[in-house]
Amino acid sequence: MAISLTYPEGGALVTGGTGNVGEGVVRRLADAGVPLVFTYRGGKDRALALEAGLRDAGHAVTAVQMDMIDGASIQAAVDKVVADHGRLHTVVCGAGVPVVFGRLSEFSIEEVEKFLWGDALGYFRVFHTVIPALKAGGGGSITTCSTMALRRHIVFDGISPLSKGSVEALVRQIAAEEGVHGIRCNAVGIGWVHAFSKEQFRDWIPRENPANAQTQEERMTVLLNQLMEMVPRPATPTEAGNLFSYLASDQASYITGQTILLDGGATL
């Protein structure tokens, strides 16, 4: 017998809904019949096109602009879910702050402070805002992004796990503290997720790494070559959406406080 994913009555909030991970989550939750609000920071045209396409397919989906450093915009997105769908039962954080590639020792203290303010504290702002709404609705699920780079060194990607270590600690603490209120909290350790195939990447990424990578483009070349050696291909946005959608579902009701790696075996 096939397992069908089910969800409580009400709606979901997906932050970063136009990214590779976020869009996959939006599409999979919509396919499962979950009414939802997804957010975007920039890329309004892409967000509105996604909204229009899903609405044309009969899904109850709304795009709203939100910034994880702006508490008022986070509250407005939560209020939109409750106003449109009666209660908030699912929260997915699909993206954080864009990462600058570099060696940690190269970043200034001010640059690290700015990144943590936007990323680690951005996730905390979202959690802090959604928990009262989840409690008011009788509980629910929070699933957020982390990174596989907490388990395996990824060249030039040190600032991301520096922040996501805090996010994983947050996940465990919220799971322990809020379980009594029927709130589950999990993370997904993201590896390489993209709509492009490995072959498409290989068409434009040089096989030879630059001798002394300094620019963001050069450092991304080194990083992507490492990823292509580690795994046979990137996960598709749909595969990412499948995992997040499962963790948010009734069928994952006994899973909380965990980080599930979406890495294709890269950390084995």
Confidence (pLDDT) at 106: 96
Confidence (pLDDT) at 3: 81
Please, which contacts does 223-229 make with residues 24 or more away whose CB atoms are closer than 8 Å? 223/101, 223/154, 223/155, 223/156, 223/157, 226/154, 226/155, 227/154, 227/191, 227/192, 227/266, 228/198, 228/201, 228/202
Confidence (pLDDT) at 117: 97
Residues in the chain where the model's pLDDT stays below 70:
1
- CB–CB of 199/234 below 8 Å? no
Q: Taking the domains of the chain in order of start, what are their residue ranges?
A: 11-195+235-262, 197-233
Helix, strand, or coil (residue 189):
strand
Which pTM does this prediction carry? 0.96
Confidence (pLDDT) at 247: 98
- CB–CB of 196/212 below 8 Å? no
Confidence (pLDDT) at 200: 95
Question: Residue 212 has which token pair?
Answer: 């002394």
Q: Class for domain 11-195+235-262, per CATH?
A: alpha beta
Confidence (pLDDT) at 1: 66
- CB–CB of 212/254 below 8 Å? no
